């Protein structure tokens, strides 16, 4: 697909290419309204980053909210129509409190969801789409894989109280092995448990090497199941051109109330945060009568425009200075030039602030 990058922002290029890519994989575009009833979000607050919502009363008195999340709306509106696997992608804005600015902001997202009977092939397909999408941004990307059950199994094995469990989770996320060790020593944990936690915190990188070490650190069935599922995914990508872009990193935890399996985050060189977040999120269906599974990811398009500059400085092939010339003559000349594939800007006079290859003066 040819796209003239000169006239588009980085997010425009990625969204256009991704739309074509996802369609080829059988994904249909999902379009949603800006508003949902507040109850949808309050009933599912565990799955939201924040319960701070922008709300207002509709004309019929219903309390509505600007959407802080797309997945909840997709689940709500597609559950009754799922046969096998429903594949959807979206390009939407969400409205959330910015952690950095401490104010509400609009965030442009693109993402996809596969909902229904999620097997290894569907999981691998979504991972492949995440890899391909990141590659369109920057070929030096990294996709970090993890598994909720590996971390949950470790925490179950440790058997700590709520506060200590949360503290160990934070140590995993921040890769702070020394603090985790000190905490476990205070809790009189066994040397074996301390050693396992420290090794898991430090364990990241090449998928095969990490998985080999992970097997030595398995403490229960939950951890063993997680390693097996990660191994299946890694094996599928053994001959992929992106195999070296895949890593395993158990600090990738995401929201454990939301996700229930493989999770992943995508990084590109210029952005100091995850550009892409995703994983399996079957826990979202626990409150519904139908039990499905689901996997998906979302890309923060605003991050692209913040840290990646437009591909080219906007310039023109021709500056057409029409002055006092007949408007129809100027339009006709510009039309002829554009038919030849040239970019043309018509101005009454040359003010010296336009970059162009050629200047044509009709006076």
Three-state SS for 158? helix
The predicted pLDDT at position 331 comes to: 93
- Does some domain include residue 249? no
| Strand arrangement of the beta sheet that strand 344-347 belongs to | 344-347, 316-321, 356-361
Q: For residues 155 and 338, what is the distance between their CA atoms, to the nearest angstrom?
A: 64
Q: For residues 137 and 33, what is the distance between their CA atoms, to the nearest angstrom?
A: 28
Q: Name the CA radius of gyration of the chain, rounded.
A: 25
DSSP code string of 302-321: HHHHHHS--SS---EEEEEE
Residue 339's domain is classified under what CATH number?
A: 3.40.50
The reply to whether 103 and 61 lie within a common domain is: yes
The reply to whether 283 and 352 lie within a common domain is: no
- Does some domain include residue 224? no
- Does some domain include residue 34? yes
What is the pLDDT tens value at each position of the chain, 363 positions in all? Answer: 555 555 678 888 899 999 999 999 999 998 877 777 787 777 777 777 666 787 778 888 888 887 778 888 887 777 777 778 899 999 988 887 766 566 788 889 999 999 988 999 999 999 999 999 999 999 999 999 999 999 999 999 999 999 999 999 999 999 999 999 999 999 999 999 999 999 999 999 999 999 999 999 999 999 999 999 999 999 999 999 999 999 999 999 867 677 889 999 999 999 999 999 999 987 777 666 566 889 999 999 999 988 887 655 557 889 999 998 888 999 999 999 998 888 899 999 988 888 888 999 988
Nearest to 41 by CA among 51, 32, 33, 54: 51
- Does some domain include residue 282? yes
The predicted pLDDT at position 170 comes to: 93
Q: Read off the pTM.
A: 0.81
Q: Which two tokens stand for residue 240?
A: 């992929």
The predicted pLDDT at position 352 comes to: 83
In the chain, how many domains are there?
Answer: 2
- Does some domain include residue 229? no
- Does some domain include residue 66? yes
Q: For residues 22 and 259, what is the distance between their CA atoms, to the nearest angstrom?
A: 22
Nearest to 197 by CA among 211, 208, 183: 183
Containing structural domain, residue 324: 316-361
Q: What pairing do the DSSP bridges indicate for beta strands 63-66 and 55-57?
A: antiparallel
How is residue 288 annotated by DSSP? Answer: S
Residue 38's domain is classified under what CATH number?
A: 3.30.930.10
- Does some domain include residue 206? no
Q: What are phi and psi of 162, to 5 degrees?
A: -60, -50
The predicted pLDDT at position 10 comes to: 86
Helix axes 221-236, 120-137, angle to 10 degrees: 60
- Does some domain include residue 261? no
The reply to whether 324 and 292 lie within a common domain is: no
């Amino acid at each position: 697909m040819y796209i003239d990058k000169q006239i588009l922002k980085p997010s425009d290029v990625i969204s256009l290419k991704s739309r074509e890519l996802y369609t080829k994989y059988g994904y249909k575009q999902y379009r949603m309204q800006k508003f949902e009833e507040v109850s949808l979000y309050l009933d599912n607050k565990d799955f939201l980053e924040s319960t701070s919502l922008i709300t207002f009363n509709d004309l019929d008195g219903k309390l509505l909210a600007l959407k802080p999340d797309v997945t909840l709306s997709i689940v709500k509106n597609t559950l009754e129509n799922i046969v096998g696997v429903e594949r959807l992608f979206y390009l939407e804005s969400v409205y959330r409190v910015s952690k950095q600015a401490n104010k509400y902001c609009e965030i442009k997202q693109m993402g996809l969801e596969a909902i229904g009977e999620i097997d290894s092939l569907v999981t691998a397909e979504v991972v492949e789409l995440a890899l391909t999408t990141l590659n369109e941004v920057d070929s030096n990307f990294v996709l970090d894989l993890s598994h909720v059950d590996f971390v949950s199994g470790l925490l179950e094995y440790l058997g700590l109280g709520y506060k200590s469990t949360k503290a160990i989770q934070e140590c995993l996320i921040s890769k702070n092995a020394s603090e985790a060790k000190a905490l476990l020593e205070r809790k009189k944990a066994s040397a074996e448990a301390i050693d396992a936690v420290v090794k898991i915190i430090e364990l990241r990188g090449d998928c095969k090497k990490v998985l080999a070490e992970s097997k030595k650190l398995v403490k229960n069935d939950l951890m063993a199941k997680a390693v097996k599922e990660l191994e299946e995914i890694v094996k599928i990508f053994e001959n992929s051109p992106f195999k070296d872009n895949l890593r395993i990193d158990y600090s990738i935890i995401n929201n454990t109330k939301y996700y229930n399996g493989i999770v992943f985050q995508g990084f590109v060189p210029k952005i100091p945060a995850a550009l892409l977040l995703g994983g399996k999120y079957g826990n979202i269906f626990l409150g519904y009568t139908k039990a499905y599974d689901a996997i998906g990811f979302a890309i923060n398009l605003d991050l692209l425009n913040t840290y990646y500059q437009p591909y080219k400085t906007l310039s023109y092939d021709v500056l057409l200075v029409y002055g006092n010339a007949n408007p129809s003559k100027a339009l006709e000349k510009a039309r002829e030039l554009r038919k030849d594939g040239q970019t043309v800007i018509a101005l009454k006079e040359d003010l010296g602030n336009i970059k162009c290859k050629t200047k044509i003066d009709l006076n």
